[in-house]
Chains A and B, each alone.
Chain A
């Protein structure tokens, strides 16, 4: 293990990688702290650049960016009462209340330090759990891979909490898109409509930029007029010591939050935001009244719990991604797409043949979380400036980067056109409440499902019983059914936590009102 880490260290110590890590980190912090700009949008915009990088810096960029963006989402929560990313939604009310009481820097500081600790814990989970699953995956054949991919697709539908049927339709749309091009068995062109450029299929990156970049801009420019918001000022000085004191006081919360995040995040399809909600509800419901506690202390406690959970979830979501090649959420789906482009197949092979890459991924998680500490404190100080970047300029920039990114894929205009088509599709899907994550997973996993299925049936001359009777296949089938069964459970838990939270916060605001 040690020699693996030293090999990985050599890969990472490259100045190019370090530069990429810092730039991607800053990028993630800025995008994450802008309300309405999600970590997925940031990942989609990052993808064209990773295209030109070696595998390790490319992975580094996405990992660092996502770790930073999840924390940065807390900043508009505290300042504007709008969560920057969905993962921050659980404790937005608490963070904003702290800012109103003049403790904004303390609240954000606690959220930052618990994010870092949670992220580190999640990385440890990743390092120790994924090899175990990877070893199990070594015995897979095309039958098992078919089921693993089906499991991934099931997970894609589970991701769409509360709208599973729409998620399923979205998934089918993604799968249908993945069939465009020459087919795997006979090389017959499908859905190309005589356009020879489409023979190579719909480019994943162009689809990604359209679905998450362009559609977001389209949504923003066609939105109705709201009201301008005043930004409260954050006093950054002297918050460090009180932050550390608060973290020490709530160390139990950070530990329980990290554990919840580590476990929930690793389940396919659950992800960081559900982890945050569950941990938030857990912290609130088990919170004991201590003498001398104010409402603000309770809020800090809740933030410590939930904020460590969402960052732990980000890291542990990579467990199924690395071991089976099943992406757990949109960001890991994008990472899988990037890895496939780079000629790296995520899954058990990673554990056998590409241990250097694997261990660099482990190390990168630790580095990204450690870097979050200084960069995060800087961001808290500079948050006012970041939030004041004019939206108009930002929209122009995002469109320009999207066009360049799509064009650079093949130096052609087809991808730019595809980007527009997917931008419109993403916009319409969003309007109809259809989740976009399954579309991505469908596009990424579609070819894997089809190739393994066709390979299996041709190999055995259409003996379909083979899919069910092989021992590992049987285990995977059970997992698929468990995943399907777990989905209502998960969304029920999430909804319950949300509802309980709404009740609590109503109660708290009553308490605060009478206490002052």
Chain B
């Protein structure tokens, strides 16, 4: 279910092979590390036994994954050829399967937007336009990801000197703003989230959050 039928077959195969190789590499790294751990008695392994077993299984499963994905791709190609020969309408029928695979946000919305216009007399009045879309194109996507991870690193570094409320407000502001929200929306979200969580954890759940420069709570 993870790979929709319509996807080109070479991409997933390469991905699977890469996963297999990484898995084998991890296993190969873990086994000697496990073997270097002390034994309970002569010939009876202790702490290292489980890591070594896991390492062995990682190598096994990685190898099997490479094997099956290469063989599977061959089968898939012949299946696709047969399907094309029949001329089955793959497009619309694949939609529910796609949606289940959770990877189809791009495909489903386009269909959904197109469908209501077909039966205009039945279609309910559109209430408003939804801004569910926070995606972006080009390098902006990776910038957003970097802002997200960077802001958490910033929290780890700055929470002690600056204190929780200020740091968290900055973190949330940065993330929301990077997703093209209006600056005042981002600011309001940051401040409200920060104080809401501060109240909930510090006052409600009695967790000692770092105070930093804002003292006296």
The chain A residues found within 8 Å of chain B, CB to CB, are: 35-36, 49, 52, 80-83, 86, 89-90, 92-93, 96, 99-102, 104, 161-163, 165-166, 168-169, 172, 175-176, 179, 183, 185-186, 188, 190-191, 214, 217-218, 220-235, 273, 384, 387-388, 390-393, 395-397, 399-401, 403-404, 407-408, 411, 413, 416-417, 419-420, 423-424, 432-435, 450, 453-454, 458, 462, 491, 494-495, 498-499, 501-503, 505-506, 509, 516
Contact = CB atoms under 8 A, between A and B. Distances in A.
Interface of B: 1-3, 12, 15-16, 18-19, 23, 26-27, 30, 33, 37-38, 40, 44, 46-47, 49-51, 54, 57-58, 61-62, 64-65, 68, 89, 92-97, 99-100, 102, 105-106, 108-113, 115-116, 119, 122-137, 141-142, 144-145, 147-149, 151-153, 155-156, 159, 168, 171-173, 175-176, 178-181, 185-186, 189-190, 193-194, 197, 201, 205-209
B4 to A, nearest CB: 11
Contact of B58 (A104, A172, A450): A172
Contact of B159 (A81, A413, A450, A454): A413
Given A231-B126, A417-B156, A505-B93, A401 B133 contact: no
A227 B109 contact: yes
A404 B204 CA distance: 13
Contacts, number: 305
Contact of B193 (A168, A172, A397): A397
A186 B156 CA distance: 34
- The 10 tightest CB contacts between A and B, nearest first, are A183-B47, A89-B100, A502-B93, A223-B135, A230-B126, A433-B2, A396-B176, A188-B47, A392-B181, A221-B144
A393 B189 contact: yes
B138 to A, nearest CB: 9
Instruction: Among B33, B124, B175, find the residue whose CB has the most chain A CB atoms closer than 10 A.
Output: B124
Contact of A162 (B2, B44, B102): B2
Contacts of B197: 400-401, 404
22 contacts: A93-B95, A166-B65, A176-B51, A218-B145, A218-B149, A221-B175, A225-B135, A230-B129, A232-B116, A232-B124, A392-B134, A393-B185, A393-B189, A396-B173, A400-B168, A400-B194, A407-B159, A424-B149, A454-B46, A494-B1, A502-B96, A503-B93
A222 B156 contact: no
Contact of B132 (A188, A228, A397, A498): A228
A99 B96 CA distance: 17
A443 B29 CA distance: 20
Nearest to B205: A52
Nearest to A91: B96
Nearest to B64: A165
Contacts of B108: 81-82
A393 B58 CA distance: 40
Contact of B122 (A102, A223, A432): A102
A416 B209 CA distance: 13
A72 to B, nearest CB: 16
B203 to A, nearest CB: 12
Given A36-B102, A229-B112, A100 B123 contact: yes
A81 B95 CA distance: 10
Contacts of B3: 162, 433
Nearest to A101: B122
Given A83-B99, A86-B100, A221-B179, A169 B134 contact: no
Contacts of B171: 399-400, 403
